[in-house]
């Protein structure tokens, strides 16, 4: 894993830092695992804009990722490590012994030719997917299920990981990337290791046009809007705009929006750090 700082031949390259992509082994995706990814430009079926500041961007296909890893005890060989334009992490192409091909989220340290497994009775090695009841305490994990059979929903982005802290009854205690500590059923699955591309946070885009390539349009600050458009708009000159809040009057900076009666509150032992 490495990053590359470019020489400032052009203004857009002056502060640009790009990924070295030294772990990527191919630039040709597996065609059978691609599906079209149509862009809406933030418009609904009537053509009305329902999502602001989105539109444009480079054309791309969606890679079908196997988040469930439910082919138990069937060995799979890592064929390639690839870039995925739909996520920050790299992905790995697996060839199963029964001939099935799938993409998975790649962990740091996965190499081409390595054999991966999922299920019960396997060793806790990087890239293997196991039930939380079988993973040793203190292990670094990622791609964690929240409900049995749901598929990975937590710790999936570049460089993220969680830690298995304790085990009691039918629950395990996991410290999540946000700093939150919560209980998860031990029948859920998780993958051993840290998600790949941990240097993603060190990259610098260098110019505004690169945001347009990603489909992000320029964002208007609320304080320069009119009162009819935003609660923080209006005023003479450079007025502060009042208390920070969203367009629909929900306060920012510390206002709790989580329901006090949410059923899963009892599973959260410690809230995330502010």
Average pLDDT of span 60-67: 97
Q: Do 43 and 175 belong to one domain?
A: yes
Average pLDDT of span 85-92: 97
Q: Do 244 and 190 belong to one domain?
A: no
Q: Do 260 and 128 belong to one domain?
A: no
Closest CA to 125 of 110, 138, 103: 110
Rounded Cα distance between 174 and 181, Å, is 6
- pLDDT beyond 90 at 23: yes
Task: Specify if 84 maps to a domain.
Answer: yes
Average pLDDT of span 90-107: 97
Average pLDDT of span 210-234: 94
Residue 2 — pLDDT band, cuts 50, 70, 90?
Answer: confident
Q: Do 150 and 38 belong to one domain?
A: yes
Question: Around Cβ 179, how many Cβ atoms within 10 Å?
Answer: 11
Task: Specify if 213 maps to a domain.
Answer: no
Phi-psi region of 115 (alpha: psi -120 to 50; beta: other; left: phi over 0): beta
Task: Specify if 211 maps to a domain.
Answer: no
Q: Do 250 and 180 belong to one domain?
A: no
Number of compact structural domains in the chain = 2
Token readout for 165 is 């802290």
Residue 155 — pLDDT band, cuts 50, 70, 90?
Answer: very high
Q: Do 44 and 175 belong to one domain?
A: yes
Please report the pLDDT score of residue 36 as a whole number. Answer: 96
Pairing of strands 115-116, 3-5: unpaired
Q: Do 190 and 251 belong to one domain?
A: no
Question: Around Cβ 67, how many Cβ atoms within 10 Å?
Answer: 19
Closest CA to 22 of 213, 196, 205: 196
- pLDDT beyond 90 at 211: yes
| Range in 54-63, 93-102, 126-135, 232-241 with the lowest mean pLDDT | 232-241
Q: Do 197 and 131 belong to one domain?
A: yes
The CATH number of whichever domain residue 240 belongs to comes to: 4.10.950.10
Please, are residues 124 and 210 in contact by the beta-carbon 8 Å criterion? no
User: What's the mean pLDDT when you consider all of the chain?
Assistant: 95
Task: Specify if 273 maps to a domain.
Answer: no
Instruction: Give percent of the chain above pLDDT 70.
Output: 99
Model pTM score: 0.92
Please report the pLDDT score of residue 1 as a whole number. Answer: 65
Residue 274 — pLDDT band, cuts 50, 70, 90?
Answer: low
Residue 96 — pLDDT band, cuts 50, 70, 90?
Answer: very high
Task: Specify if 210 maps to a domain.
Answer: no
Q: Do 196 and 231 belong to one domain?
A: no
Sign of CA dihedral 218, 224, 227, 232: positive
User: Residue 192 pairs with which residues in a beta bridge?
Assistant: 141
Task: Specify if 56 maps to a domain.
Answer: yes
Task: Specify if 208 maps to a domain.
Answer: no
Q: Do 190 and 245 belong to one domain?
A: no
Domain containing 247 equals: 224-268
Q: Do 241 and 187 belong to one domain?
A: no
Please, are residues 149 and 160 in contact by the beta-carbon 8 Å criterion? no
The CATH number of whichever domain residue 122 belongs to comes to: 2.40.50.140
Q: Do 170 and 65 belong to one domain?
A: yes
Rounded Cα distance between 231 and 251, Å, is 10
Q: Could you report the per-residue pLDDT of 175-204, keeping only the tens digit for each?
A: 999 999 999 999 999 999 999 999 999 999
Task: Specify if 110 maps to a domain.
Answer: yes
């Amino acid at each position: 894993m490495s990053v590359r700082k470019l020489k400032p031949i052009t203004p857009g390259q002056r502060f640009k830092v790009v990924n070295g992509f030294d772990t990527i082994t191919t630039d040709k995706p597996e065609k059978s695992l691609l599906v079209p990814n149509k862009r809406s430009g933030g418009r609904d079926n009537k053509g009305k804009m329902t999502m602001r500041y989105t539109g444009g961007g480079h054309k791309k296909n969606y890679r079908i990722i196997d988040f469930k890893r439910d082919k138990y005890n069937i060995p799979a060989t890592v064929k390639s490590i690839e870039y995925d334009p739909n996520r920050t992490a790299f992905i790995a192409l697996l060839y199963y012994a029964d001939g099935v091909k799938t993409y998975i989220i790649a962990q740091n340290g996965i190499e081409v030719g390595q054999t991966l497994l999922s299920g019960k009775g396997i060793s806790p090695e990087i890239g293997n997917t196991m039930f939380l009841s079988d993973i040793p305490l203190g292990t670094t994990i990622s791609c964690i299920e929240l409900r049995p059979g749901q598929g990975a929903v937590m710790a999936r982005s570049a460089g993220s990981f969680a830690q298995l802290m304790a085990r009691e009854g039918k629950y395990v205690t996991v410290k999540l990337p946000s700093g939150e500590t919560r209980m998860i059923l031990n029948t859920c699955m998780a993958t051993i290791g840290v998600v790949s591309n941990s240097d993603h946070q060190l990259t610098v885009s260098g110019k505004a046009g690169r945001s347009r390539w990603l489909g992000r349009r320029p964002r208007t600050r609320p304080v320069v809007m009119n009162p009819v458009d935003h609660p923080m708009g209006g005023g003479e000159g450079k007025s502060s705009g009042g208390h920070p809040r969203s367009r629909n009057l929900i306060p920012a900076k510390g206002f709790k929006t989580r329901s006090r009666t949410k059923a899963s509150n009892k599973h959260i032992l410690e809230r995330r750090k502010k």
